[in-house]
Amino acid sequence: MSEEQKGVVVHGDGEGFHQEIFVDSHRLAADEPEESGGSGRGPDPYDLLLASLGACTSITITMYAQSEGLPLQGVTTRLQHSNVHAEDCAECETEEGKIDWIELHIELDGPLSDEQRSQLLEIAEKCPVHQTLTSETVIRIESADGSG
């Protein structure tokens, strides 16, 4: 990883599922719920993924509204993740197996016209995390010690 790239470090003690997450000077936690064998000391990984998408969407909308001088007074995103059978999804290209389904509801506060609200909802899809989740993504896994 080059110096320009931002890094994230995640550390678990190998005993429980609780993970410490370090992002620059920020410290977060992840865990599994107690009913899944975790200690519930942090959101689970899917909740963190949804939080990332929700935050990015809200930031993208806010940046656009500010640059265009729109009277946006707040953005709230609410997200849910589930797996659905592909055969039950009329909007999906995949026809077999299960697919991940994310519902993203956006509330826009402020004296916005219908046209401005439509603009902001279109901009939501320009969020970089949304773009990453809906594009081809390659994850290369390698051992830190150079083996495997």
The reply to whether 56 and 73 lie within a common domain is: yes
**Residue 98 maps to a domain:** yes
Say if residue 144 is exposed, middle or buried (CB neighbours under 10 Å; 0-12, 13-18, 19+).
Answer: exposed
95 and 39 in a common domain: no
Q: State the Cα–Cα distance between residues 129 and 60, nearest whole angstrom.
A: 10
Range of the domain at 77: 44-137
Helix (H, G, I), strand (E, B) or coil at 34: helix
Residue 56 and residue 35 share a domain: no
pLDDT digits (tens, 9 = 90+) for 67-93: 999 999 999 999 999 876 556 555 556
Phi-psi region of 40 (alpha: psi -120 to 50; beta: other; left: phi over 0): left
Do 31 and 49 reside in the same domain of the chain?
no
- 94 shares a domain with 26: no
Same domain, 63 and 105: yes
Q: Tell whether 145 is covered by a domain.
A: no
- Kindly state whether residues 62 and 111 are assigned to the same domain: yes
CATH number at residue 76: 3.30.300.20
Q: What pLDDT score was predicted for residue 96?
A: 57
87 and 18 together in one domain: no
Q: CA dist 114 to 103, 106, 118, Å?
A: 22, 14, 6
pLDDT tens digit sequence for 121-134: 999 999 999 999 99
Q: How far is CA 124 from the centre of its chain?
A: 13
Is 67 inside any structural domain?
Answer: yes
pLDDT of residue 2: 42
Q: Specify whether 100 is located in the same domain as 130.
A: yes
Stretches where the chain sits below pLDDT 70 are 1-6, 84-98, 146-148
Does residue 146 sit within a domain? no
- pTM tops 0.75, yes or no: yes
Residue 28 sits at the vertex; the CA angle it makes with 128 and 63, to the nearest 5 degrees, is: 30
Instruction: Report the pLDDT value the prediction gives residue 63, as an integer from 0 to 100.
Output: 98
> How many domains would you assign to the chain?
2
Residues 6+ apart with CB under 8 A from 8: 21, 22, 23
The answer to whether residues 18 and 79 belong to one domain is: no
Say whether both 131 and 72 belong to one domain.
yes
Question: Do 24 and 57 lie in a common domain?
Answer: no
Question: What pLDDT shows up at residue 51?
Answer: 97
User: Does residue 130 sit in helix, strand or coil?
Assistant: helix
Q: How far apart are CA 129 and CA 138, in angstroms?
A: 14
Taken in order 128, 24, 28, 22, the sign of the CA dihedral is positive
